[in-house]
Structure 1
Amino acid sequence: MKKTGIFLLLLSLLAACQESDKERLTRLVQEWDGKEIAFPAQAVFTVQGRDTVDFRWQSAPYRIVTYVDSLGCASCKLQLPKWKQLIAETDSLFGKEKLSYVFFFHPKDARELTYLTRRDGFTYPVCFDREDAFNRVNRFPSEMALQTFLLDKDNRVVAIGNPVHNPQVKELYLNIIGGKRSATTGTKQTSASLSERDVQFGSFPMGEKKERKVTLKNTGDAPLVIHGVDTSCGCTRVEYSQRPLRPGEETTLLIIYEADEAGHFRKTVDVYCNTADAPLRISVTGEAVSN
């Protein structure tokens, strides 16, 4: 059975991939389409790692399920402030009865995850899956973009992709939950250029805020619309105007980096817009030196 999530996810994920990567991602998305997700029988949910709660998500007709493994930067992967914004948005659109969220975190350090949920004021129930049981019963793909799913009432995958990292996936999820079953595709494509794609801040003292202006120009013959900007870490943010750009117009993306730990860093900024090669990726590198 063909699902509406396949086409859009492939468009958003494959643009910058090598051919071998495209083939593998296509195979994975098709493999998971319509698959039933299994849940561990003894999953324990807590709020900020302290209070165990009787969490029942099965009554909602839709659920967004995300799995986060223990590899790499936990804060970058979790993006808890963005999940808070999405939960608030969907609650206002659909109510809590139509959609539930199910979070499984496999912690390398449970204390770090507890700290992050408290630091970010994240009060939604989560499962600190210390034994990685959720992943063991499902064997999720290793790509972070393919570890979040929109499920129906039977726990079958309706769409796949991370809505807090990819605005197009978010649009797809909201449309399906709202009954449209597809994403908006009527925006005419154009072309765009960036003044630089490699922002290098060099070495600087820890605690110093770094900023760089990057120019985005509409080089095509249709209006350029920025659907959203995603960063790989909460320590990087972007200020920009959402006003559509007419052909030939330019706008400024202000990239702001505030290190949360000392050391060398490599972050990414993805600009989602109506171009064939979207997202437009900017690499942000440097080294924060402790005082």
Structure 2
Amino acid sequence: MRKLIAIVVFVLAGFATTQAQNSAKFEFESETIDYGIIKKGSDGVRVFKFKNVGDEPLIVEDVKSSCGCTIPKKPEKAIMPGEMGEIEVKYDTKRVGHIRKTVTVYSNAEEPIKALKIKGQITDDTES
């Protein structure tokens, strides 16, 4: 009986370890987008590119920005292991000044909450 219990415990422990290793995982090309110095009214669309380096489908559940001046767009479908995905952000370039914003990604990845950054500066050539 002890041997049977030991075998069951061993099998369950092995199953739990295997399950813990299977997960989706982000690998971003860059976790910060630097707009640099751009003119007021310039194209504010940029893209965070990533790869699912895990062994499970990666589902981006939600993407939120730290203010209404940045509009993120999440992938609509799951990113399969080994596939590339994109998170698009659009910054309102009518706002002159420094850019320092956070885009927070919520997913089923090994790291379920991921903070991405955008930075830069918007200039207005009409000011003297």
1:284 aligned onto 2:118: yes
1:233 aligned onto 2:67: yes
CA distance in 1: counterparts of 2:110 and 2:80, whole angstroms: 17
Map 1:59-78 onto structure 2 (within 5 A): none
1:204 aligned onto 2:49: no
Aligned equivalent of 1:259: 93
Q: CA deviation at 1:261?
A: 2.6
Q: CA deviation at 1:219?
A: 0.7
Higher relative contact order (CA 8 A, sep 6+): 2
Structure 2 residue ranges without an equivalent (≥5):
1-21
C-alpha contact 2:97 2:123 (8 A) present in aligned 1? yes
State the Cα deviation string for residues 2-35 of structure 1 (Å, max 9, x = none).
xxxxxxxxxxxxxxxxxxxxxxxxxxxxxxxxxx
Q: CA deviation at 1:260?
A: 4.8
CA distance in 2: counterparts of 1:260 and 1:207, whole angstroms: 5
SS of equivalent to 2:37: strand
Q: CA deviation at 1:278?
A: 2.6
Q: CA deviation at 1:284?
A: 0.3
State the Cα deviation string for residues 18-65 of structure 1 (Å, max 9, x = none).
xxxxxxxxxxxxxxxxxxxxxxxxxxxxxxxxxxxxxxxxxxxxxxxx
C-alpha contact 1:235 1:260 (8 A) present in aligned 2? no
State the Cα deviation string for residues 157-177 of structure 1 (Å, max 9, x = none).
xxxxxxxxxxxxxxxxxxxxx
SS of equivalent to 2:80: coil
TM-score (norm 2): 0.72
CA distance in 2: counterparts of 1:189 and 1:226, whole angstroms: 13
Aligned equivalent of 2:12: none
Map 1:128-207 onto structure 2 (within 5 A): 189-207=23-41
Aligned with residue 52 of structure 2, among 200, 212, 218: 218
Read off the aligned partner of 1:229 and give its amino acid letter.
Answer: V
Aligned residues: 104
Rg larger in 1 or in 2? 2
Name the Cα RMSD after superposition. Answer: 1.7
SS of equivalent to 2:118: strand
CA distance in 1: counterparts of 2:121 and 2:50, whole angstroms: 26
Aligned equivalent of 2:77: 243
Q: CA deviation at 1:208?
A: 1.9
SS of equivalent to 2:110: coil
C-alpha contact 1:193 1:219 (8 A) present in aligned 2? yes
**Structure number having the greater strand percentage:** 2
State the Cα deviation string for residues 93-116 of structure 1 (Å, max 9, x = none).
xxxxxxxxxxxxxxxxxxxxxxxx
